[in-house]
Amino acid sequence: MSKEHKVTIADIAREAGVSAMTVSRLLNGKGPVAKETAERINEIIERLGYQPNFLARSLSSKKSMIIGVTIPRIEHALLDNYIAQILSGVTNIALKNNYRIMLLPFNPEEGDRNEFVNWHRSKMVDGLILLKTLHRDERIAALAEQHVPFVLANHKYYADGVNFIDVNNAKGIALAVEYLVAKGHSEIAFVTGDLRETNALDRLNGFKKVMQKLGLPLREDWIINGQFNREIAYRESAKLFADKKRPDAVVCSDDYMAIGVINRIKELGLSVPDDVAVTGFDDIEIAGFLRPALTTVRQPIENIGRVAAETLIKILNEGIKKPVHRLLNVKLIPRESA
């Protein structure tokens, strides 16, 4: 904690009258070091304020102890509560296991087939957690082919060498619809997310399936695309109320869109939930504090991040065994909006 400039392992070794290896062993807890030697070295490390060079260590050991997390390269990606929560879960687990997180912005719509692989090839990261990737992204296939350790978060993708953590989306939507039906609703509209994401697709398919199962009418013009975007949902939902005959309930594929739809309904002078009931999906942090408080399907978003990180770290430590495909559970949270 004194010397102004770079103290290396060699300096410590010289000062302690041992070889660099002994210092290295002590530092990494690998191999035996005599207690007295250890104490002497530790004292010197402390005194000189030695800090191991992470780059040299990683280059030599071939492990960077960094996990890369993809985030969509849009202005406000991190403002998305959903992305932030997953990131939060990933960060917590990574930290506990001595990994650091590197943010890797990417364009979900396009990119070189080897873009993801190259992050690993360049030794920048030991493994990857992929967020917000779209259905059939070739970059994911490339990762699997090249045996790069990676885990998809919230992206269902059954294939060799692909690990994913997701939730049971279809069940979540079924819970919402069944709840509405129990409350006496039958004219139910649906707002989809970005259908290039598998969970948006799963929710839509889940909706169709449960409606059929319950023998309820499925009107194509009552299925609108909200792109997982509050403002788009606000805009598009106008269509649902243009006719005299309007739905008495709207199931939304996420909470932000539910907020947009609710604002639209209020603006039309209708009441939520009396005239139209609205459900969301996610249970974002603010959901319970909105007025009306949002009835929604809670998915354990942060936990998806945690499990994804745990899975990746396990793969990093023990190698890839059989692919991990995990679906976490969802739960209906009844509040005021439905």
Partner DNA sequence: ATGAAAGCGCTAACAT
Partner DNA sequence: ATGTTAGCGCTTTCAT
Contact residues toward its own copies (CB under 8 A) are 1, 4, 6, 49, 51-56, 58-59, 64, 66, 71, 73, 75-79, 81, 84-85, 87-88, 91-92, 95, 100-105, 114, 118, 121-124, 146, 230, 259, 263, 266, 285-286, 289-291, 302
Taking each helix axis as running N to C, give the angle between helix 35-48 and helix 20-28, from 0 to 180 degrees, rounded to the nearest 10.
Answer: 90
Q: Partners of 279 in the beta sheet?
A: 251, 295
The only residue of 1, 2, 4, 6 in contact with DNA, by rule CB under 7 A: 6
Per-residue binding string, DNA, 61-100, x by CB under 7 A, is: x---------------------------------------
Burial (CB < 10 A; 0-12, 13-18, 19+), residue 128, is buried
* Residue 223: both structure tokens together: 């299925």
Q: In terms of Cα–Cα distance, which of 62, 273, 65 is closest to 183?
A: 273
- Residue 21 interacts with which of DNA, its own copies, none, CB < 5 to 8 Å by class: DNA
Stretch that binds DNA, among 15-23, 219-227, 235-243, 320-328 (CB under 7 A): 15-23
Alpha-carbon distance of 107 to 73, in angstroms, equals 5
Distances (CA, A) of 96 to 164, 202, 309: 21, 33, 11
Per DSSP, the residues of 296-325 read EEE--HHHHHHHHHHHHHHHHHH---SPPE
Q: What is the CA radius of gyration of the chain?
A: 26
Q: What's the number of CA atoms in the CB half-sphere (13 Å) around residue 161? A: 10
For residue 31, state whether it binds DNA (rule: CB under 7 A).
yes
For residue 118, state whether it binds DNA (rule: CB under 7 A).
no
Minimum distance from residue 168 beta carbon to DNA (Å)? 41
- Residue 214 interacts with which of DNA, its own copies, none, CB < 5 to 8 Å by class: none
- Residue 93 interacts with which of its own copies, DNA, none, CB < 5 to 8 Å by class: none
For residue 244, state whether it binds DNA (rule: CB under 7 A).
no
Applying CB under 7 A, the residues found at the interface with DNA are 6, 8-10, 13, 17-25, 27-28, 30-34, 36-38, 50, 52-53, 56-57, 59-61
